[in-house]
Amino acid sequence: MTKSKFIETQAIHAGRINDQQFGSLATPLYQTSTFIFDNAEQGAKRFAGEEEGFIYSRLGNPTTRQLEMRVAALECMEDGAATATGMAAVSGALLANLSAGDHLISSKAVYGCSFALMSHMLTKFGIEVSFVDMSEPNNIVTAIKPNTKIIFLETPINPNLQVLDLEKILGIAKQFDLLSVVDNTFMTPVLQQPAKFGADIIVHSATKYLNGHGDVVAGVICGTQEMINHIKLTALKDIGGTISPHDAWLILRGLKTLPIRVERHCQNAQQLAEFLETHPSVSKVYYPGLPSHQGFKYLGNQMKAAGGVIAFELNTDLAGGAEFINRMKLFSIAVSLGDAESLIQHPASMTHSPYSDEERRDAGISDSLIRISAGLENVNDLIADLEQSLNAVKCVDTKVA
């Protein structure tokens, strides 16, 4: 196909491998563990890298390859590697590029399992990690050491939706010759393309918006062809966190509607955030689409829209927050985000439970913080569900400044 500059077209056609034998419109599902060689010599050549072709699905698969090429095109990157989970994408990108004695700088608040990987696992193998408040980019410069190798960040940050300045932070990475890794799960390439600001590696939990239907657990890493080959031939090949062909096939199907789904997620989230900001039971709303949010200034430049995730504080205690969640009727009490269904969860006790109480406070994740993922339902039904539960909240004096 002719290359298009429009993401709606790329989401359907980028990376497409035409089925020469049968002419299938839908991407064929190659549900196979291994591939047959014509002869022993061909097998030897493929293992030696002297001939292109598939060997074993952990090393590559035609269905998986289309997913990798499509997401890479959406992210304006040369190549991609599909992984079994979002955490396999994060760990694969880091483990392939860090050695004992190296130093990693991460944004202070990140997804709970990313935090656990960096603070508990990497340090076991002699990798030093510093968690930095990147809302002031100069804090990164202060934290850089002679052994610093990677800067890792999310923006907006999970779960408090703080927006970081990609241009400044990635500029610092280039200035000091550091590798930059950006988790772009919350925004998707529809709303934000970190490569345009100089990101070296982009990771996704494809479980979320890329798939969009709550029936897959997967991840994707994007980067240069050289970097992706390095990650595939080290961390992914030898640790084995690669995706199944069936999951890749499901995500390819989901990607076709990604742009229109993201548009509806954003529309619903904007109206929900505006409603929440006016309700007396809510003390603070964290959503970049609100002028009161520090990330609002990045809309139209770094971010095309504010996304589908909202966080907010209730004027109540921990028990009141649990009661509020339990009273929801349409919202499903579940972690994850980006599904057709609207989801609600309590980060302190769920997604960010790997943090200690002190670490959570330091990262700005309070006991009363609630996170919702706006789904694709009619927004009036979603507002009604929030309203009926908020009206029953027993308010206490816990206002957030």
Task: Quickly count: other Cβ atoms within 10 Å of residue 139's Cβ.
Answer: 14
Residue length of the chain: 401
Angle at 79 between CA 62 and CA 215, to 5 degrees: 60
Nearest to 179 by CA among 265, 92, 105: 105
- Rounded Cα–Cα distance for residues 369 and 385 (Å): 18
The residue assigned the tokens 């529809």 is: 190
DSSP string, 35-47: ---SSHHHHHHHH
Listed residue (68, 72, 90, 91) closest to 81, CA to CA: 68
Judging by DSSP bridges, how do beta strands 343-345 and 332-333 pair with one another? Answer: parallel
Rounded CA gap, 309 and 283, in Å? 17
Locus of tokens 């206490």? 396
The two tokens of residue 206 are 């494809």
Neighbours of 353 (CB within 10 A): 14
Give the helix/strand (H/E) hosting 300.
none
> Which positions are catalytic?
58, 111, 183, 208
Strand positions, DSSP E, 54-195: 79-83, 103-107, 128-132, 148-154, 179-183
Looking at residue 197, the DSSP 8-state letter turns out to be G
Six token digits for residue 24: 């299938």
Q: Is the dihedral of CA 302, 119, 312, 326 positive or negative?
A: positive
CA dist 136 and 164 (Å) reads 9
CB proximity list for 56: less than 8 A, separation 6 or greater: 33, 34, 35
Nearest to 96 by CA among 219, 226, 189, 218: 226
Q: Alpha-carbon distance 31 to 244, whole Å? A: 8
Q: Show the tokens assigned to 307.
A: 């996304």
